[in-house]
Amino acid sequence: MNVEILTIGNEILIGKTQDTNSNWMAKRITKYGHRLKRITTIGDDLDEISTTLKEILARKPDMIITTGGLGPTFDDMTLEGIAKGLKREIVLNQHAFNSIKKAYESATRRGILKLEGMTKERKKMAYLPRGSTPLPNTVGTAPGVKLTEKNTTIFILPGVPAEMKSMFRTVITPLLKETKGKFIERGFIFTGIGESQIAPYITQIEEEYPQLWIKTHPRIGLSVEVELSVTCFNVENDVELVENAIKKAKKIVHNLNGKIKTE
């Protein structure tokens, strides 16, 4: 599957908050053999959200995951923006309404909140684009949303990391696991060789194994980290492929009088 992430939040664009959600999700999307193609971060702006969603949909990813902008305040406008982008109405979802109500009642009972009952702002979180499936939020109050538009599944998750992670694990991980792809990665640090010195040999390996993605990173001192990875759906053959490429890389390093430091 091709996946895109859309991060929504002024706090990220002003540098107040470091977006750690995308990295957390990227690891998992990759691990289960899928491809994260793009991460886009925009502010809490209705037109910006709607326009950006349309741009992403035009690239036809299999999955879009948005984070942020689901809270009760006026600057949380993700659901409205997504609805606008999809040209769908925003309608009160009774399941979402009930779960929000329950969350606030429970918070009031436990003394975490003073004000019981559904204010206008709390009710706002239950207005979802038509066709939405609300996703339960077991950590916070704002429900997430699952939507389908043509061949793209859209997941709208909260920006609070604990809430995002819990919802991702419950709803998205099982979906990612369904397809049997696997991401195989092997890496070494070579010492005694610099990055630009090893570059022509890496090109040679890449030409021989076009399925592999090979990346070199310079390390402190005269050493270089070489990573070989492949996303495969025929796991056995691809493991062999990676192993063969690694053998070749090692041989080259030995011929250049380099040493393998870690594997």
- What residues line the site for a copy of itself (CB under 8 A)? 7, 10-15, 17-20, 22-31, 35-43, 55, 71-75, 104, 107, 111-115, 119-122, 183, 192-197, 199-200, 202-203, 206, 213-216, 218, 221-222, 229
Residue 17 or residue 170: which is nearer to a copy of itself going by CB? 17
Least gap, CB of 93 to a copy of itself (angstroms): 18
Q: Are strands 63-67 and 90-92 parallel, antiparallel or unpaired?
A: unpaired
Q: State which residue, 130 or 176, has the beta carbon closest to a copy of itself.
A: 176
DSSP at 170: I
Between 88 and 225, CB nearer to a copy of itself: 225
Shortest reach from residue 174's CB to a copy of itself, in Å: 19
To 5 degrees, how large is the angle CA 61–CA 66–CA 70? 155
Closest approach, Cβ 92 to a copy of itself, in A, equals: 17
Cα atoms in the Cβ-side hemisphere of radius 13 Å centred on 28:
16
Distance CA 249, CA 251 (A): 5
Count CB neighbours of 92 within 10 A.
11
Nearer to a copy of itself, 114 or 150 (CB): 114
134 strand-pairing partners = 145
Which residues are CB-neighbours of 168 under 8 A, at least 6 positions away?
25, 28, 65, 157
Q: Which of 194, 187, 163 is nearest to 249 (CA)?
A: 187
For the CB of residue 168, give the shortest distance to a copy of itself in the complex, in Å.
13
Q: Smallest distance, Å, CB 173 to a copy of itself?
A: 14
Of 149 and 206, nearer to a copy of itself (C-beta) is 206
